[in-house]
Chains A and B, each alone.
Chain A
Amino acid sequence: MLTRNDKILIFSLVSVASLFFLRVFLISGEGSEALIKVGNAPVQRVSLRMDRTINLEGEKGRVILEVREGTARVVESSCLQKICVNTGWINKPGQTIVCLPNKVLITIEGKKSSKADAVSY
């Protein structure tokens, strides 16, 4: 005994539900973006789908970020200890590269794979 209105209601209900489903599905898509924070500047978003190198002006000099085939790394940094360079490639959501002397933080965005909200270290 469905009228036209009922059908419209059911249709809209289903589409709203699928929208929510789609949203959850899209967000959990594996690390497709990197968030870059340099000093006190606002966070920049960089897609990992396009290969390129990015020059960042850190506190003590240049930090060069390389993006290739969905992963990212710091190729070169003006810091002394090179912890950022030695971190190597990152591509999983939640992974980070930090260069403290230059105040550069690179985080892969997406649903965290480690299942933890934060890590104590």
Chain B
Amino acid sequence: MQELWREDKYKNLRFVEMGRFRILIFSFLLFFICGCGNKEYSRVDFLMDTVVEVKVYHGNKAEAREAIDSSIEEMKRVEQKMSSFVPGSEVSRINKEALFERRSASDLREGWISISSELFSLLEESVRVSNLTKGCFDVTIYPLWKIWKFEGDNVEIPSKREIERALGLVAYKNMILQNGKIKFGKKGMGVDLGGIAKGYAVDCAIKVLKEKNVKSAMVNAGGDIYVLGKKQGKPWRIGIRHPRKEGEILGIVDVEDRAIVTSGDYERFFFSKGIRYHHILNPRTGYPAEECQSVTIMCKETTFADGLATGVFVLGPKEGMDLIESMEEVEGVIVDRKGEVLISSGLVSKIKYANQK
């Protein structure tokens, strides 16, 4: 009888041990489930004349896919509205209307063109960047941009006379925005949002992702990046391209809820008689800006970062860095024409050099 009792006792003990094993297994399983809870979903597409990628970390596949598709559709919508290359866009319509002779006397005197509130706000933001950069960023660059023909397969630079004529039409102060309408001071003026619309499209895409309850995402439109939240509990790691070494990184920054935009002279260019002409035009001289090799801006909005990167590139390294330092929550990296790297004070300790690892 005593022996039997003992056996029973051991059985109970073993049961307890089994329980411990089960707890161990369950906790292991739970660990793996948590770890794999938010999976990575991404989509790459050709938009806005560049490669666009949307990456999302989410627990539900269908919801993630739907959010990604909606955000890409949103960027397509922005492109169709804001691009001066798309014939039917609102921007194209304004540029065309600004060329027309107006029939009624009052229209001719007034010259106001009604625009959507969305375009109005974006133009207002452009003017804000223009004011900050002393006109080095200027959306009325359209007449100049048109004669340089970077969008085509151009191999010839415009003549001096052509450039001088176009420069006479470039001045954001001659573009008046009032009560949802726009008016140009001179006939033949126009707007090109190429220096800011890509960033705006990224912000719009992020807004859509947030509405779809996405908490962790990255939108990358040809190097104009916004990172939302963290990437699986850690900050996103964003590299800054080396302006002269293809495929190499100048440094890496850990970021979350931030926009990072770089303007570089290596992006779009053509050769004419052995000289390289890149796409960032100086609205003062009419020729490509030559003070910098690249400018990277980090701040809270991609729209602002995009415009500011272009403006600072034209403004030059010294004035540009002074401007960056004068603003709250704006950081930047400038590579000047000699290849010297300038880093804003708030970023110096945060940037990791690629070769230091």
Contacts and interface: CB of A to CB of B under 8 A. Distances in A.
A61 to B, nearest CB: 13
Contact of B17 (A1, A105, A114, A120): A1
| Binding site secondary structure of chain B | strand
B260 interface: yes
Contacts of B46: 39-40, 100, 103, 105
A27 to B, nearest CB: 12
Interface residues of B, number: 46
Interface stretch (B110-118, B129-137, B220-228, B319-327): B220-228
B50 interface: yes
B25 A120 contact: no
A119 interface: yes
Contacts of B270: 81
Contact of A118 (B32, B45, B220, B266): B220
Given A9-B21, A40-B45, A117 B14 contact: no
Nearest to B269: A81
Nearest to B270: A81
A121 B231 CA distance: 21
A119 B249 contact: yes
B260 A117 contact: no
Interface stretch (B97-105, B169-177, B236-244): B236-244
B357 A115 contact: yes
Nearest 3 CB-CB pairings of A with B: A116-B239, A121-B223, A121-B241
24 contacts: A1-B17, A3-B14, A20-B32, A81-B270, A95-B247, A100-B50, A114-B239, A115-B357, A116-B237, A116-B238, A117-B55, A117-B227, A117-B237, A117-B238, A118-B53, A118-B218, A118-B220, A118-B225, A118-B239, A119-B239, A120-B239, A120-B240, A121-B262, A121-B267
